[in-house]
Amino acid sequence: MKMKIIEVKNMSMQFNLSSEKIESLKEYVIKLLRGKLMFNEFYALRNVTFSVEKGSAVGVLGANGSGKSTLLKVISGIYPPSVGSVEVNGTVAPLIELGAGFDPDLTARENVFLNGAVMGFQKEFVKSKYNEIVDFSELHDFMDVPIKNFSSGMSARLGFSVATLVHPDILIVDEVLGVGDAAFQRKCEEKMHELRSDGTTMLFVSHSIEQVREICDYAVWLNHGEVAMQGKCAAVCDAYEHWSLTHTAFE
């Protein structure tokens, strides 16, 4: 029996959305202190339960607003769950938002070392791997350009190159392969297959069902924050595609 590297049990994620228009920060603070700030409760995720075996690749499917990115952020430790539990056994390399963790005013070169430090790497280690990062990202001519001048595709290239510098226990990828050219997407897919062959567990979100079918062996389908179906990737993808033909994102 394979070890469970991620276990999500009866997990819900609730956000409080302001139900009234606030004109300024001062007004917000005054109403908050007086207890007059009104909120609507919104559940991005509700009663989500599933587990991920070590070394597997799990696709997370769902329409826009279904809670996919929120789920990945909870698993990554960015959000604590409102209810239930999430247990993660291993190091996590999250690629959740383009440019997340980058300082836009710093150059790409400086951001490589900044990201490396955030991920717990020693400066000398990052320095020894610097050329490898640049070669994979194919950004040789842009390393001294501030990140704020990068396109989303260039940011994704750099982020993926740093995140996969070492082989993490868990790689979380959210839509970053949806930007950039097809050649680099194939290069990233090859890298992900390499990581999988070395035992890295993967959580993968993509609007491309073909990519999910190619990379994943298990899938979880979210609908309005709840698990609509989970199981073998092909069966879940087939069901989701059939559903997508007759439904819109926010029905």
The predicted pLDDT at position 51 comes to 95
Check whether domain 99-167 has CATH 3.40.50, yes or no: no
With 0-12 / 13-18 / 19 or more C-beta atoms within 10 angstroms meaning exposed / middle / buried, residue 246 is: exposed
Structurally, what CATH architecture does the domain formed by 1-91+168-251 represent?
A: 3-Layer(aba) Sandwich (3.40)
What are the pLDDT digits (tens) for 179-224? Answer: 567 788 788 888 888 888 888 999 998 888 988 998 899 999 999 9
H or E stretch covering 192: helix 182-197
pLDDT classification of 240: cutoffs 50, 70, 90: very high
Q: Would you put residue 155 in left (φ > 0), alpha (ψ -120 to 50) or beta? A: alpha
- Cα–Cα dist 77/170, whole Å: 13
Q: Where are the domains of the chain?
A: 1-91+168-251, 99-167
| % the chain with pLDDT above 70 | 84
pLDDT classification of 126: cutoffs 50, 70, 90: very high
pLDDT classification of 87: cutoffs 50, 70, 90: very high
What are the pLDDT digits (tens) for 138-165? Answer: 999 999 999 999 987 888 888 888 888 8
| % the chain with pLDDT above 90 | 48
List of E strands, the chain:
4-18, 39-53, 57-61, 83-88, 92-95, 170-174, 201-205, 218-223, 226-232
